[in-house]
Chain A
């Protein structure tokens, strides 16, 4: 299969890229931003992780 070495596929290697979530060690800031957006506690918990786990359960078949 094509392993992508023969041509330039994206320009990102040399461009400036901002990652708005910030460093991994400061991830709790995401919960603060969710609160600033007026999110409920239930919605915050779902989007932070409970939704992922419910989906994974569907696929893993627990």
Chain B
């Protein structure tokens, strides 16, 4: 039996990788990772942005890597993450929660891979060129374009994340992905403990496990069995539940931490108003810069990230 004080010692020497943060990224968050002893984090730097907006977000991160090089470092390989541990820094894996950034151009995947965006969720909640998100009324399944995207991501060494992806599209991707390049659910909870469209069924979790894929568990109270009464011990119970489906080698943490953001009760409304009254306003919210596209259309989203 490991005691709690032994566990704290183990934690200090262990690699701790968090498979998803969408925090209000700033020095405050970088220092929180430091204090928390977090070795590496997959950081969302794109959801709805088209090519131009996605580039702007990468540029911001490149500046942060320079300005805060005492606490964070960009990682594009596993060796980079292990080196960060030795150097006492937190490794940042730039990640997308949607493939909107490539627009309809398959070749743009390579550009973002070269910039270090090494993990992409295929769709975020809605329908896109590749497939359907979990809130779509009808799940299209993986599209013809989507097959090319999944193949190209595998070839380029980009992780394919299916967390917010619809059940049929998820199943199609798991079955279609090239041998040895399985997709992951980087931040999900098991529907076997609480039925919810955002949670993943036992069937899908087992299927992704059979392919050698990965399941990171998020910590969204309302999607856990005990709802907002859930404790950190209930989180570990959920980990054990998923381990029961896939074995203990394919499960980890994907906290979906949105630290630093208030509950965005009116954020979308406020953002709309600010943008409508100031056509040049650039709104920064949830680590995402909301701007206009080249035709002047506002790139706004609903107050949701989960």
User: Which residues of chain B are near A27, meaning CB under 8 Å?
Assistant: 11, 16, 18, 36-38
Given contacts A4-B125, A27-B38, A35-B7, contact A13 B304 (CB under 8 A): yes
Given contacts A3-B299, A24-B36, A56-B78, contact A49 B23 (CB under 8 A): no
Q: Are A52 and B222 in contact (CB under 8 A)?
A: no
Q: Are B236 and A55 in contact (CB under 8 A)?
A: no
Total number of B residues with any Cβ neighbor in A under 8 Å: 99
Closest to A3 in B: B48
B175-189: which have CB < 8 Å to A? 180-182, 184
Given contacts A15-B222, A62-B78, contact A24 B264 (CB under 8 A): no
User: Which residues of chain A are near B170, meaning CB under 8 Å?
Assistant: none
Q: Give Cα A16–Cα B231 distance, bound, in whole angstroms.
A: 15
User: Which residues of chain A are near B158, meaning CB under 8 Å?
Assistant: 59
Looking at the complex, which one of A10, A21, A39, A50 makes contact with B219 (CB distance below 8 Å)? Answer: A21
Bitwise interface map of B from 13 to 44 toward A, beta carbon under 8 Å scored 1, else 0: 01111110101000001001101111110000
Closest to B255 in A: A21
Q: Are A37 and B237 in contact (CB under 8 A)?
A: yes
Given contacts A23-B36, A35-B6, contact A12 B253 (CB under 8 A): no
Q: Are A30 and B2 in contact (CB under 8 A)?
A: no
Total number of A residues with any Cβ neighbor in B under 8 Å: 59
Q: Are B263 and A60 in contact (CB under 8 A)?
A: no
Q: Are A35 and B3 in contact (CB under 8 A)?
A: yes
Looking at the complex, which one of A18, A49, A55 makes contact with B14 (CB distance below 8 Å)? Answer: A49
User: Which residues of chain A are near B237, meaning CB under 8 Å?
Assistant: 37
Closest to B220 in A: A17
Q: Give Cα A21–Cα B127 distance, bound, in whole angstroms.
A: 31
Looking at the complex, which one of B36, B222, B248 makes contact with A17 (CB distance below 8 Å)? Answer: B222
Q: Judge if B126 is at the interface, Cβ distance under 8 Å.
A: yes
Q: Judge if B267 is at the interface, Cβ distance under 8 Å.
A: yes
Query: Would you give the shortest CB distance from A56 to chain B, in whole angstroms?
Result: 5
Query: Would you give the shortest CB distance from B114 to chain A, in whole angstroms?
Result: 13
Q: Judge if B157 is at the interface, Cβ distance under 8 Å.
A: yes
Q: Are B263 and A4 in contact (CB under 8 A)?
A: no
Bitwise interface map of B from 209 to 236 toward A, beta carbon under 8 Å scored 1, else 0: 0001110100111101001111111111
Q: Give Cα A12–Cα B37 distance, bound, in whole angstroms.
A: 29
Q: Give Cα A55–Cα B305 distance, bound, in whole angstroms.
A: 25
A1-51: which have CB < 8 Å to B? 1-5, 7-10, 12-41, 43-51
Query: Would you give the shortest CB distance from A38 to chain B, in whole angstroms?
Result: 7
List the interface of chain B (C-beta within 8 A of A). 1-4, 6-8, 10-12, 14-19, 21, 23, 29, 32-33, 35-40, 48, 76-79, 81-82, 93, 100, 118, 124-129, 135, 154, 157-159, 180-182, 184, 198, 212-214, 216, 219-222, 224, 227-237, 239-240, 243, 248-253, 255, 257, 259, 263-265, 267-268, 298-306
Q: Across chains A and B, which 3 residue pairs bring their CB atoms closest together, nearest first?
A: A13-B303, A18-B221, A49-B15
For this complex, 6 residue pairs linking A to B, each with C-beta atoms less than 8 Å apart, are: A13-B265, A13-B302, A14-B303, A25-B32, A41-B2, A55-B252
List the interface of chain A (C-beta within 8 A of B). 1-5, 7-10, 12-41, 43-62
Taking A19-B257, A20-B232 as given, write out 20 further A-B residue pairs in contact, using a Cβ cutoff of 8 Å, ordered by the A residue number. Answer: A4-B126, A10-B302, A13-B268, A15-B222, A20-B221, A20-B234, A23-B32, A24-B33, A24-B38, A27-B16, A27-B37, A45-B10, A48-B253, A49-B16, A49-B40, A52-B17, A52-B253, A59-B157, A60-B157, A62-B78
